[in-house]
Amino acid sequence: MPLNHGYGVIIGSLHSYYRDPVNDYGQYYHGNVEVQTPAGRYKCAIDVDSKKLANGVEWRVVEFGQSALNGVAGFADGWHALASNAGSGALDYIRSPSLQPKAGCVFVVFDPILDALRRLLQSSAIPPWKSGTSIDALADLEPLLQNPKRLYIFGEPFTSGLGVHNIHQNQGDPPGSQWWAENGIWQDGATLIRRQDDTIAAFLNKFKSQSYKTDNSGHPL
């Protein structure tokens, strides 16, 4: 099943950023990015709720080239609905080619040392997931928001007012979860930042309870 109210990307400039008020267990539910567009200001709630766990949220920062913006690079500032498929510009943490590890070399002769090097190259192309609290995750997000040139934030639109939520992985929730019905592929939320020098970084975030292996319905394997 897809997200209840659709999926897409908001594109614009950074107006402001702030954290939610501290919650009852000394953490934050969201880091909030306000994106300025011709239609108005969109509030984007990046969910980093780690619950009461020391490692309840997982994230990574991925550096990559223009290919990460295939399908959306030429869009004007504003909200753009995206179909949940590989050709629309939608993101999928597990299936998007730009988010997958790539080896820099091809080894054709098996050797334990060469095989170890191959695995190292594959794992280092895309950084591993970090785990921790909301404070830890926001400490990696916030430096990316210093003087960005343009923002591309993927997720589900608010039902009322201008805004985007479900800015996190939107698949892999386990059976019995209240979000099981919203599991789906090609609908992951993410925060992509184009810097002043036109390099691009992505902040990807998920919850510990979500699987990183899913079937074609987005349900955990």
In a domain, 1, yes or no: no
Q: What is the pLDDT of residues 55-74, one digit of tens each?
A: 999 999 998 766 667 789 89
| Residue of 191, 210, 219, 203 whose CA lies nearest to 12 | 191
Q: Which domain holds residue 21?
A: 8-99+128-207
Q: Which two tokens stand for residue 173?
A: 């929730």
Q: Is the separation of the CB atoms in 11 and 32 below 8 Å? A: no
Q: CA-CA distance, 171 to 175, in Å (whole number)? A: 12
Higher pLDDT, 6 or 105: 6
For 218, left (φ over 0), alpha (ψ -120 to 50), or beta? left
Query: Does 118 fall in a domain?
Result: no
d(CA 176, CA 110): 44
Q: Is 115 within a domain?
A: no
DSSP 181: G
Q: Is residue 155 part of a domain?
A: yes
What is the rounded CA–CA span in Å between residue 29 and residue 21? 8
Q: 112: pLDDT confidence band, cut at 50, 70 and 90?
A: low
- Per-residue pLDDT tens for 198-218? 999 999 999 999 999 999 999
Flag whether 27 is in a domain. yes
Domain membership of residue 114 (yes or no) is: no
DSSP codes, 93-130: TTT-GGGS---SS---S--HHHHHHHHHHHHHHSPPPE
**Helix (H), strand (E) at residue 135:** helix 134-141
Provide the number of structural domains found in the chain. Answer: 1
What does the alpha-carbon distance between residue 2 and residue 186 come to, in Å, rounded to a whole number?
Answer: 9
Q: How confident is the model at residue 104 (pLDDT cuts 50, 70, 90)?
A: very low
Is residue 159 a part of any domain in this protein? yes
